[in-house]
Amino acid sequence: MILFCSGAAWRLLLGGITMRSARSLFETLLRGGMAVARRVPSPLALRLGRGVGLLWYHLLRYRRDLVAENLAAAYGLPPHDAEIRRLTRANFIHYGLLFVELLRLRRLAGDELETTVTFVGLDHLDAALTRGRGALILSTHLGNFDLQATAVARRG
């Protein structure tokens, strides 16, 4: 989410530093986050992801308001409704978790991937592949589809 901030938003968030400095700071934080996320156990990494999501929720007011407006339109409720606020907060927590899982993807590509992703209906895929004509896999836009794609690729 923070990747989509304009130059003005960066200056506002980071106290007037140059865009080049802001990008350098962001890259440093991202590399540090990757190093930490890869080294900590999964339960702690997920807590960090939750924290990242909550941080985004509190810092990125414009995005938070936009998400709330979209959810309000979808549910037919006012943007300040308690349920809309709960769903908006949960949305940011979800993206924080996805972000940390993405940072950990290289680590998860090992044995830990087997315990993280659960396959259902692989017999259908295997049956289609035995026909020798390939298969088309469709997925909903739910969960961490980067992790799902990695798990499918690892299966061969």
Question: 74 and 28 share a domain?
Answer: yes
CA distance 59 to 1: 11
Question: 96 and 146 share a domain?
Answer: no
Total structural domains within the chain: 2
Average pLDDT score, the chain: 81
Question: 116 and 74 share a domain?
Answer: no
Residue partners of 57: CB distance under 8 A and separation at least 6: 64, 88, 89, 92, 93
Which position has the higher pLDDT, 127 or 149? 127
Question: 97 and 36 share a domain?
Answer: yes
Question: 24 and 71 share a domain?
Answer: yes
CA distance 110 to 89: 32
Question: 51 and 128 share a domain?
Answer: no
CA distance 117 to 112: 9
- Condensed to tens digits (0 to 9), the pLDDT of residues 79-128 reads 999 999 999 999 999 999 988 888 887 776 666 777 777 888 888 888 98
